[in-house]
Amino acid sequence: MTLGSFAGKPGDWDAALAAVDGGNFYQSHAWGEFRGDMGWQPLRVISSGERADGATMAQMLVRRQFGASIVWVPGGPAGDLRHWAAALPDLLRSRFGAAAYCRVNVLREHQPAAEGRLPAAGWRRPRVRLGTGLSLELDLHPTAEARIALASGNWRHNLRRSGKYGLTVEPWLNPDAAQMAAVYREMEDYKGLAPQHSEQALRSMLGHLGSSVTILRCLDDKGNLLAFRAAGVFGGRAWDLLAAATPAARKVYASHALLWALAEACRQQGALAYDLGGADPVGNKGVFDFKRGTGARLFEYTGEWEWAGMPLLGRAVGLMMKHRGVAA
C-alpha cells in the first residue's frame, strides 16, 4: 500500500474519513485547520487504489524543529494498522528524508495482535508520553433514565443536588473566548494547574470548529457564569474537548449537571458513545473518579507510537511536545 496527498475539498475529506474504521474528530479537516493556527502545517494523505478491507487516511501536522521535520498525527491514522505501519514510514522518508520524526496517537481500543506489527516496521513506544493511553467511554445507547441507573450512588446524589440551586444549563450559542479563558485562569489558580488553553487558542478553536462543537454553560441563579463544557461529534462518537469551572461551581455541583446535559445533547446529535477525553487514575484521581462515577467504561487505546529516521531525535522531540502541551 502507498499513501499520497489528498486533493479533495474539506467536506470530501470528512465524508471519506467518517467511512474509515477509526476515523475521529481529531482527524477532521476543521481540527487540522485549528492546529494550523497553532504553528502546525496540516498534510492530509490517503491510500491509493481501492482495498476490499478499506482505505487508510492520516491527517499529519508538520513543523520544523531541531533541524528536523516533526510530524504529529493526532487521533490517527485511520484505517487498518496492518497497512499503515509500514506505509507511513515509507511516506515520511520520501517526503522529509532521514531527519524526520513522527508520533501517532491512535484513538482506537487496544489491538494486541495488530499492534505486534508496529515494532517490526520501526515504531516504538515513546519514552516521554503525552498521556496515559487510557480513557473512559460513556455508552449513549441507553436513555438518560437508564444511564443514570448505571452511575455510582454518589454521582447520582450529586446530580440531584445540582437541581436545588436554581442553576441554568443551556447551549452557549455565542461563546466568548475571553470569558472562557477567564474561567480557565480561575480554575488553574485554585487548583494549582499549568495553563490549559490560551484565549488565542480558544478563539481559534471556536472559529474553525464552529457548529461541529457543542458547548453548554452553567449559570447561577443570578446569571453569573459558573462553568462550561464542550464536545465534538464525529462519526457517531462524541469527544470531550473543553471543561472549566470556577470555585463557586464546585459548591453547587455544576460540573455534574453540565456533563450529564452535554452527554444527552451529543446523543441527540447521533453520538452513540462519549469519549471522556483520557483517564489518569493515579496522577489525576479526582477527575478520574468524577468521570468514572458516570458509569463510564475504562479502556486502553492503541495510543502513542513513534518512528524516527534518526533515533536520537525521539527523546528531544518527546520533551518538546510534552512541554508545549500538544493534545490528542
Domains assigned to the chain: 3-133+301-323 (3.40.630.30), 141-271 (3.40.630.30)
DSSP 62-81: EEEETTEEEEEEEE--BS-H
275 and 267 Cβ atoms separated by less than 8 Å: no
CA–CA separation, 178 and 17 (whole Å): 33
86: amino acid identity, one letter: A
CA–CA separation, 278 and 68 (whole Å): 29
- Give the closest residue to 274 by CA, choosing from 242, 244, 316, 231: 231
Note the pLDDT of residue 198.
96
Task: List Cβ neighbours of 42 (8 Å cut-off, separation of 6 or more).
Answer: 32, 33, 35, 36, 59, 60, 61, 62
- State the Cα torsion 297-299-249-194 to the nearest 10°: 180
Note the pLDDT of residue 310.
81
Cα dist from 274 to 139, 160, 209, 269, 291, whole Å: 7, 21, 18, 12, 11
- Give the closest residue to 126 by CA, choosing from 328, 324, 321: 321
CA–CA separation, 65 and 68 (whole Å): 5
CA angle 277, 81, 117 (to 5 degrees): 115
126 and 304 Cβ atoms separated by less than 8 Å: yes
Note the pLDDT of residue 7.
87
136 and 113 Cβ atoms separated by less than 8 Å: no
| Global confidence as pTM | 0.93
CA–CA separation, 124 and 306 (whole Å): 5
219: amino acid identity, one letter: L
- The three grid cell numbers given for residue 314, joined into one nine-digit string: 525521539
Length of the chain: 328
Helix (H, G, I), strand (E, B) or coil at 278: coil
CA–CA separation, 323 and 194 (whole Å): 11
Note the pLDDT of residue 324.
61
CA angle 122, 93, 57 (to 5 degrees): 80
pLDDT 10s digit of each residue in the chain, 328 long? Answer: 789 999 889 899 999 999 999 999 999 999 999 999 999 999 999 997 655 457 899 999 999 987 899 999 999 999 999 899 999 999 999 999 989 999 999 999 999 988 999 999 999 999 888 899 999 999 999 999 999 999 999 999 999 999 999 999 999 999 999 999 999 999 999 999 999 999 999 999 999 999 899 999 999 999 999 999 999 999 999 999 999 999 999 999 999 999 999 999 999 999 999 999 999 999 999 999 999 999 999 999 999 999 998 877 766 676 676 666 565 5
Helices (H) and strands (E) in the chain, counts: 13, 12
CA–CA separation, 174 and 23 (whole Å): 28
Note the pLDDT of residue 69.
94
- The three grid cell numbers given for residue 135, joined into one nine-digit string: 480513557
- Give the closest residue to 325 by CA, choosing from 26, 119, 82, 38: 38
